[in-house]
């Protein structure tokens, strides 16, 4: 393996470590010392590889979406499965990540959204959060629109309202998980929520 290849691999590991720190502590609660300690690099190396703290946060947020966000939506688009099964599997997979003992708990997007309106929150980081939330809303709205057109959901449902409901549901689950809710607790929430789709 070439030296360049090794540096790229180390950069990915460092980004994963930074993502975990932001996920655990939020943007404001994360210090540069915590980042460099977790990433195993010094400040000059961090700045050279990722830019400043805001740049690193944006990269970590994208990493989170790629690794822990987009995979959760896969069950929604599994062909041949009933819509209620797909929705339940999507929510179940989300809950499993939120309660995974090997992860910080909750959801980095939910945590970041909750603190993004604070005074002094970096503008580019705020834009990244808003853009990501808008993309999530669009994806879910389009999903529900297609399902209603296909007749798998009642046409009395409003697609955007369902999408907003799912976002509120998963973010609420994330807060509960961050505060110590068990997998069984989240499953009970999912069971209650499924009635909204019938």
Domain spans, the chain: 56-197
Domain 56-197 CATH class label: mainly alpha
In degrees rounded to 5, what are phi and psi of residue 23?
A: -65, -35
The pLDDT, as a whole number, for residue 196 is 86
On the 0-12 / 13-18 / 19+ scale of CB atoms within 10 A, 90 is: buried
The pLDDT, as a whole number, for residue 5 is 38
Selection from 130, 136, 129, 134 nearest residue 76 by Cα: 136
Write out the chain's pLDDT in tens, 198 residues: 444 433 433 899 999 999 999 999 999 999 999 999 999 999 999 999 999 999 999 999 999 999 999 898 999 999 889 999 999 999 999 999 999 999 999 999 999 999 999 999 999 999 999 999 999 999 999 999 999 999 999 888 899 999 999 999 999 999 999 999 999 999 999 999 998 887
The pLDDT, as a whole number, for residue 4 is 41
Angle at 41 between CA 35 and CA 42, to 5 degrees: 85
For 159-182, b/e burial (b = at least 16 CB within 10 A) is: beebbebbbebbbebbebbbeebe
* Contact between 162 and 140 (Cβ < 8 Å): yes
The pLDDT, as a whole number, for residue 6 is 35
């Amino acid at each position: 393996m070439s030296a360049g290849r090794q540096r790229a691999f180390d950069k990915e590991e460092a980004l994963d470590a930074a993502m975990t720190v932001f996920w655990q502590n939020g943007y404001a609660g994360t210090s540069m010392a915590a980042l460099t300690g977790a990433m195993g690099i010094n400040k000059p190396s961090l700045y050279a590889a990722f830019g400043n703290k805001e740049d690193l946060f944006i990269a970590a947020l994208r990493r989170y979406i790629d690794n822990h966000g987009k995979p959760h939506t896969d069950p929604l688009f599994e062909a041949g499965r009933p819509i209620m099964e797909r929705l339940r599997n999507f929510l179940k997979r989300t809950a499993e990540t939120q309660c995974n003992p090997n992860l910080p708990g909750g959801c980095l997007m939910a945590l970041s959204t909750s603190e993004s309106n604070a005074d002094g929150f970096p503008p580019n980081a705020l834009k990244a959060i808003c853009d990501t939330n808008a993309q999530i809303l669009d994806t879910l709205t389009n999903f529900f629109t297609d399902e209603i057109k296909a007749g798998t959901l009642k046409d009395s449902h409003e697609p955007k309202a369902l999408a907003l409901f799912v976002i509120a549901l998963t973010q609420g689950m994330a807060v509960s998980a961050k505060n110590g809710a068990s997998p069984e607790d989240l499953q009970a929430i999912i069971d209650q929520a499924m009635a909204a789709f019938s």
